[in-house]
């Protein structure tokens, strides 16, 4: 046994559990932890400008790292409450992050001490565990349990709150014999896999819906092998995008009300059997359940028992880790292939491929101001299949889902369910820290970008280079489009007459508003602006070069037309409004949905 302060044991456990990257903001009530972190020397820390930003950085780090867990740290009171949006976002998308907060001394917790708030009670609805540690000897067990819970079952975040006197107290701890608690992950049986394949092979037009649970299980290779063995097309969900490459012959496109493809919805509506693995049947994916379910048999595989039947009752449900289920299904599919009992799917696969080749949305617009579709066309042309995209919410994210291409798991980093504005910058920084060798391209509308733009300074300070594309129409575009149902355009316009408008070039519209280029430069980054669609590609290439040379975020602001309606539906997947003037691909023009790397 070694005598040490409780926080020294906590820091050592972080190292032993592999959680060696922290994002946070020091403060009086968490300074003992930071002293232990400094003395240890083996962990890395990035200083955020906002504690919510630190939480989103931890999310981005985890989402980009197989098996990794990002850690966010803050002091007592408002630091913990600032983390709540990040914890909600993480739990909504099944992302494990560890939040560590300082707290007032135990004896003063009920005396309205300065910055003393019951953060465990506040956080409890949005985490797997929230604990204020009241006894110093409980610190090692609390951290061991945190990692056990984050990794077991459906992954998710945990918060540990450490009173300052608990941090400073000495305890006995033996790091040499520390052992992680066993991780619990249910696994599908061979009999369950056989039943699933019995049902699938009886269908004529089957599909696999690949959810984010496959990404969490690092089982994308197993998914592709299963699809190829069965010759069954795959529909990735928004969180599962990248589990099968977009240029794979069995990719059937995404389905849903917003981030969906015309051919994806059409193929789904033509199907008669759906095997969902590691997915939640999220409402933006399903739309109205009557339309979504009609004429189809459903099998649902998910690691969380209460997810089975939560949205609708499947015809057959299996509680299993996505990776374990896929391995069992692959083994059974191989056996049936070798026995020659798998049916041919050539006709169905060809039908899906035909829709994918023809049911495209137009992207090649030459007008000025720039139409957003052209931006994604050029992004596909410039950024290669190794690119990791990071985005969160709005028309920019919806259009990205419709037009961009993703080829690898964890290369689409998106706050799928919570969608908090401001998430993109800190999440991109976290992803870039996690994997510096992979180019990161973030995408924001102007409002998302303005929410937490102070975090750009973090990238400048810590030499985190990435490209951030800001599509700017000086509008809350998604809300403006939704307000059409109320026949209004109310409190959604962001433009104004900037008194420094002499900084803008002649092509920048009057009343443009915020000069994001100047803001980026003031925060130590590089800012570029594009007003001509023919200059998008060259500017993106220049941004990539500058991000590599200077190791700072490079902001590319693309000035868009004020109003563009993006295809979506308010109800059912068979009722997506395509805005026909934008929906027809020109036969003699390039299009972003024609795969660049096929």
How far, in Å, CA of 425 to CA of 446, rounded? 12
Burial of 580 (0-12, 13-18, 19+ CB in 10 A): exposed
Let me know: does 323 contact 218? Beta carbons within 8 Å. Answer: yes
Tokens of 300: 């649902």
Coil, strand or helix at 389 = strand
Facing residues of 46 across strands?
23
412-425 b/e (C-beta count within 10 Å ≥ 16 → b): bbbbbbbbbbbbbb
Q: Pick the closest to residue 539 from 390, 391, 429, 383 (CA basis).
A: 383
Coil, strand or helix at 171 = strand
User: In sequence order, which ranges of 271-407 are alpha helices (DSSP H)?
Assistant: 283-286, 289-293, 322-339, 346-358, 372-382, 395-403
Let me know: does 597 contact 382? Beta carbons within 8 Å. Answer: no
Coil, strand or helix at 247 = coil
- Which H or E element spans position 521? helix 516-522
Let me know: does 139 contact 6? Beta carbons within 8 Å. Answer: yes
Q: Phi first, then psi: what are they for 275, rounded to 5°?
A: -105, 110
Q: Give the residue numbers marked as catalytic.
A: 25, 51, 421, 476, 479
DSSP code for 50: S
Helices 262-270 + 346-358 axis angle, to 10: 150
Q: Looking up tokens 């969906």, which residue turns up?
A: 260
Coil, strand or helix at 175 = helix
DSSP code for 273: E
């Amino acid at each position: 046994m070694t005598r040490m302060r409780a926080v020294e044991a906590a820091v050592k456990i972080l190292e032993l559990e592999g959680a060696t990257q922290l994002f946070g903001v020091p403060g009086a009530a968490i300074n003992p932890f930071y002293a232990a972190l400094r003395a240890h020397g083996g962990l890395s820390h990035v200083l955020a400008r906002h504690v919510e930003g630190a939480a989103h950085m931890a999310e981005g780090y985890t989402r980009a790292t197989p098996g990794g867990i990002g850690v966010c740290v803050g002091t007592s009171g408002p630091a913990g409450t600032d983390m709540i949006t990040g914890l909600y976002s993480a739990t909504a998308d099944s992302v494990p992050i560890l939040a560590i907060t300082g707290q007032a001394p135990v004896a003063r917790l009920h005396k309205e001490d300065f910055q003393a708030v019951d953060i465990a009670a506040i956080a409890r609805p949005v985490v797997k565990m929230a604990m204020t540690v009241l006894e110093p000897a409980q610190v090692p067990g609390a951290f061991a349990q945190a990692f056990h819970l984050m990794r077991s079952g459906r992954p998710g975040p945990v918060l540990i709150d450490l009173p300052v006197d608990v941090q400073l107290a000495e305890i006995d701890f033996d790091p040499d014999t520390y052992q992680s608690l066993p991780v619990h992950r249910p696994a599908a049986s061979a009999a369950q896999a056989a039943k699933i394949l019995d049902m699938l092979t009886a269908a004529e037009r089957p599909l696999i819906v690949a959810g984010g649970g496959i990404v969490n299980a690092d089982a994308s290779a197993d998914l592709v092998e299963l699809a190829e063995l069965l010759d069954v097309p795959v529909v990735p969900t928004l969180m599962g995008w990248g589990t099968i490459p977009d240029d794979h012959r069995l990719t059937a496109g995404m389905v849903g009300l917003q981030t969906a493809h015309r051919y994806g919805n059409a193929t789904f509506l033509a199907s008669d059997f759906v095997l969902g693995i590691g997915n939640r049947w999220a409402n933006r994916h399903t739309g109205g359940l009557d339309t979504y379910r009609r004429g189809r048999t459903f099998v649902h595989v998910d690691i969380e028992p209460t997810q089975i039947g939560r949205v609708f009752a499947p015809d057959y449900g299996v509680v299993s880790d996505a990776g374990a289920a896929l391995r069992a299904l692959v083994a059974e599919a191989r056996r049936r292939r070798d026995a020659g009992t798998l049916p041919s799917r050539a006709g169905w696969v060809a039908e899906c491929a035909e829709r994918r080749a023809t049911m495209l949305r137009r992207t090649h617009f030459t007008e000025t101001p720039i139409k957003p579709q052209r931006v994604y066309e050029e992004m596909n042309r410039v950024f290669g299949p190794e690119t990791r995209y990071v985005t969160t919410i709005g028309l920019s994210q919806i259009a990205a889902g419709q037009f961009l291409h993703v080829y690898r798991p964890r290369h689409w980093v998106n706050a799928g369910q919570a969608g908090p504005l401001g998430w993109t910058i800190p999440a991109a920084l976290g992803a870039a820290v996690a994997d510096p060798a992979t180019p990161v391209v973030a995408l924001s509308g102007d409002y998302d970008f303005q929410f937490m733009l102070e975090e750009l300074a973090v990238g400048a300070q810590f030499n985190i280079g990435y490209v951030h594309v800001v599509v700017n129409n000086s509008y809350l575009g998604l809300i403006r489009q939704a307000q059409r149902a109320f026949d209004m355009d109310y409190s959604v316009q962001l433009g104004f007459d900037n008194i420094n408008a002499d900084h803008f070039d002649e092509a920048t519209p009057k009343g443009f508003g915020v000069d994001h280029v100047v803001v980026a430069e003031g925060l130590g980054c590089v800012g570029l602006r594009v007003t001509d669609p023919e200059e998008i590609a060259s500017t993106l290439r220049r941004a990539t070069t500058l991000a590599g040379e200077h190791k700072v975020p490079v902001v590319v602001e693309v000035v868009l037309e004020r109003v563009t309606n993006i295809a979506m539906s308010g109800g059912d997947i068979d009722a997506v409004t395509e805005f026909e003037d934008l929906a027809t691909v020109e036969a003699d023009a390039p299009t972003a949905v024609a795969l660049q790397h096929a």
